[in-house]
Amino acid sequence: MKFSFVQPRLELRPYIESLWVFESAYGMPAADMSMCVPNGCPRLIIPYENSFIAVVDDRVQVGQEGALYFYGLRDKSAVIRASCRQTGFIGIEFRPFGAYPFFGIPMNEMANQVQELDEIFAHWGREVRETLGNLEKVEQKVDFVQERLVGLLRKNQRYNALIEFCVTTLKLADGRMPIRELEQRTGYTRRYLHLLFKQHVGFSPKALASIFRFQKFYRQWAQGVSFNELKEEMYKYFYDQAHFTKEFKKFTGNSPQQFTDKISNQFGRSLSLK
């Protein structure tokens, strides 16, 4: 199992959190949970070799080889499975506000949803899918997808400096910022910010902040920090241990101690350490 992280093209860097290629000679490891947890990023996933399934709340979503899938912002984890053969995915994780400038779809309509790009962006999705199928090397596929995304960006011109400032401010604070402070810093009302986030992000500022708080601890787990070590710091971010446990379980399906002590998730760990 291998993740290779690619530096996005210069024009794409303000909008893309990470671009990666996942490769495995034997599908997804049977002994690994292979869990994708919420990180505030909508995703474009391209399974170029082998299909996969994603299980979310006991619902099974099938990703067919050669298709392009857009995953809106999520607040539920997904367990990924793939058959035991050569497997390859390209993943593009947009920043929380980063997908809207390309596709122009109100992100609240895509929250916790997955759609083939052929369905929501028909001509572009079909063209990209057909061309990718004719390219042999994964490097060619990655370059072509980036080229077509740059084309969309230049055509649509939907950049919004206010939403970028708000998301960046919340992330730098690891979600520890009252929304009233965001109102004061921007000069805009809570209602206006909520509407802006609804269109560009898909979740409210408060909901996105809770994902950033969770990610603070998830990244430390990925680095090997134990739950007992995490407990001391969590009170800076949550009212109490019960609140922390409730949010952690919402995003992973497990309590913090169960997750850190019993869950094998090398897939998620590798993805988190980009």
Q: Where are the domains of the chain?
A: 2-156
Whole-number mean pLDDT of the chain?
Answer: 90
The answer to whether residue 265 scores a pLDDT higher than 90 is: no
pLDDT at site 223: 83
pLDDT at site 138: 96
Q: Which residues does 72 contact at the CB level (< 8 Å), separation at least 6?
A: 42, 107, 109, 110, 111, 112, 113, 114, 202
State the pLDDT confidence band at 42, using cuts at 50, 70 and 90.
very high
C-alpha 139, offset from chain centre:
22
State the pLDDT confidence band at 235, using cuts at 50, 70 and 90.
low
User: Between vectors from CA 112 to CA 110 and to CA 116, what angle results, nearest 5°?
Assistant: 55
State the pLDDT confidence band at 52, using cuts at 50, 70 and 90.
very high
pLDDT at site 191: 95
pLDDT at site 160: 92
| CA distance linking residue 157 with residue 100, whole number of Å | 10
H helix intervals, the chain: 100-103, 117-120, 122-133, 138-156, 161-172, 179-186, 190-200, 205-222, 227-234, 241-252, 256-262, 266-272
The tens digit of pLDDT for each residue in 9-39 reads 999 999 999 999 999 999 887 777 888 899 9
Q: Fill in the amino acid letter for 4.
A: S
The tens digit of pLDDT for each residue in 95-151 reads 999 999 999 999 999 999 999 998 888 889 999 999 999 999 999 999 999 999 999
Q: Indicate whether this model's pTM tops 0.75.
A: yes
CATH 3.40.50.720 fits 2-156, yes or no: no
Distances from the Cα of 112 to the Cα of 88, 115, 203, 244, angstroms: 24, 10, 10, 22
Please tell me which residue, 242 or 274, carries the higher pLDDT value. 242
The answer to whether residue 48 scores a pLDDT higher than 70 is: yes
Q: Which residues does 45 contact at the CB level (< 8 Å), separation at least 6?
A: 63, 68, 69, 71, 89, 90, 91, 92
Determine which helix (DSSP H) or strand (DSSP E) holds 81, and give its type and residue range. Answer: strand 78-81
Query: How much is the CA Rg of the chain, to the nearest whole Å?
Result: 19
Mean pLDDT of 153-163: 89
Distances from the Cα of 141 to the Cα of 12, 21, 27, 50, 137, angstroms: 16, 10, 20, 15, 7
State the pLDDT confidence band at 247, using cuts at 50, 70 and 90.
confident
State the pLDDT confidence band at 244, using cuts at 50, 70 and 90.
confident
Q: What percent of the chain has pLDDT over 90?
A: 63
Residues in the chain: 274
The tens digit of pLDDT for each residue in 188-232 reads 999 999 999 999 999 999 999 999 988 988 888 888 777 777 777
Pair of tokens at residue 102: 């390309």
The answer to whether residue 51 scores a pLDDT higher than 90 is: yes
| CA distance linking residue 56 with residue 126, whole number of Å | 27
- Point out which residues pair with 16 in neighbouring strands: 94
Determine which helix (DSSP H) or strand (DSSP E) holds 43, and give its type and residue range. Answer: strand 43-49
Pair of tokens at residue 55: 């299980």
**Residue in the block written with tokens 């505030």:** 40
State the pLDDT confidence band at 239, using cuts at 50, 70 and 90.
low
Q: What percent of the chain has pLDDT over 70?
A: 98
